[in-house]
Amino acid sequence: MKLNELKPNIRSNKIRRGRGDSSTKGSFCGRGCKGQNARSGGGVRIGFEGGQSPLIARMPKLPNLKPKKTKPFVIHAAIIEANFNDGDSISIDTLLEKKLINKKIKTVKILEGSTLNKKLDIDKNILVTKNISDKK
């Protein structure tokens, strides 16, 4: 071991506060003068903005993520009468083939009324009702 090989001991980087003014970290110890943050155990919780509405409260809320109720597509019985023959089966696929509905439509409701005279095989996914004007 030679003098040029000697090195000082490695100390921790922890700053020793409150050990007098000669240590440059005495007196107020880097905490400022008075106030909440100068006290021991002082400070505010995370996200607190001094009485101002916090950022988390100012952000927009999540939208309502419940699935929307879809209303069935309404077809009048006169249109069914004109496009289907006696004994035909009516389903969403056959309505798509005849281009009476588009492919986004999931449910169909037929307003029956007094014009539906043909015998048709209607699929269970298609609702059939009486026309509102017939309920008088």
Which two tokens mark 35?
């106030």
Query: What is the domain extent for residue 121?
Result: 73-135
Does residue 53 have a pLDDT over 90? yes
Residue 42 inside a domain? The answer is: no
The pTM for the full model equals 0.47
**Residue with token string 């505010």:** 44
Residue 105 inside a domain? The answer is: yes
Residue 7 inside a domain? The answer is: no
User: Which region among 35-39, 52-56, 62-66 has the lowest average model confidence (pLDDT)?
Assistant: 62-66
Residue 114 inside a domain? The answer is: yes
Residue 90 inside a domain? The answer is: yes
Q: Averaged over 6-28, what is the pLDDT?
A: 82
How many domains does the chain contain in total?
1
Residue 127 inside a domain? The answer is: yes
Does residue 57 have a pLDDT over 60? yes
Contact 102, 133 (CB under 8 A): no
Cα–Cα distances in angstroms (integers) from residue 66 to residues 11, 40, 60, 61, 73, in the given order: 60, 48, 18, 15, 21
In the chain, % of residues over pLDDT 90: 13
